């Protein structure tokens, strides 16, 4: 499977997860090639918008400065909440809040970094 195929599959998986949690979602196919800061996935529910840039890596660290800065621009224009979703080997997808990454000037993330789950960004995190 090519890197493109892995990335596209991850994006489709994220879209399906949004739908399974009661959100409308779509994948912006070719989002990296349109020359504008278009995120890979957009989810909408009851007026709330979430933009997600998806990345897959074979390594334990992902370098994301370009993705963070592009998603920042989309977030500013659309007023969407924005997250990076990173799929590390043998791990569940990890979500990173763009505002937090920008505030900390942190453009690299690792498989061991503190992160969010999809349920938490959708406001569905349950406490025990």
- Which sequence positions are flagged as catalytic? 31
Q: Cα–Cα distance between 45 and 80 in angstroms, integer?
A: 12
Residues whose CB falls within 8 Å of the CB of residue 1, separated by 6 or more in sequence, listed in order:
9
- State the DSSP H helix or E strand holding residue 24, giving kind and residue range, or none if neither: strand 24-27
Residue showing tokens 């025990």: 128
How crowded is residue 20: how many other Cβ atoms within 10 Å of its Cβ? 10
């Amino acid at each position: 499977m090519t890197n493109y195929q892995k990335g596209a599959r991850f994006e489709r998986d994220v879209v399906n997860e949004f739908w399974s949690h009661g959100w409308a979602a779509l994948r912006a196919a070719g989002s990296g090639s349109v020359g504008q800061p278009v995120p890979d996935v957009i989810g909408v529910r009851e007026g709330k918008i979430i933009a997600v840039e998806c990345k897959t890596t074979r390594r334990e660290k992902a370098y994301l400065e370009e993705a963070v800065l592009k998603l920042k621009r989309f977030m500013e224009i659309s007023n969407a909440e924005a997250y990076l979703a990173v799929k590390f080997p043998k791990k569940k997808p990890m979500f990173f809040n763009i505002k937090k990454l920008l505030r900390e000037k942190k453009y690299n993330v690792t498989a061991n970094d503190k992160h969010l789950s999809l349920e938490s960004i959708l406001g569905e995190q349950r406490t025990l």
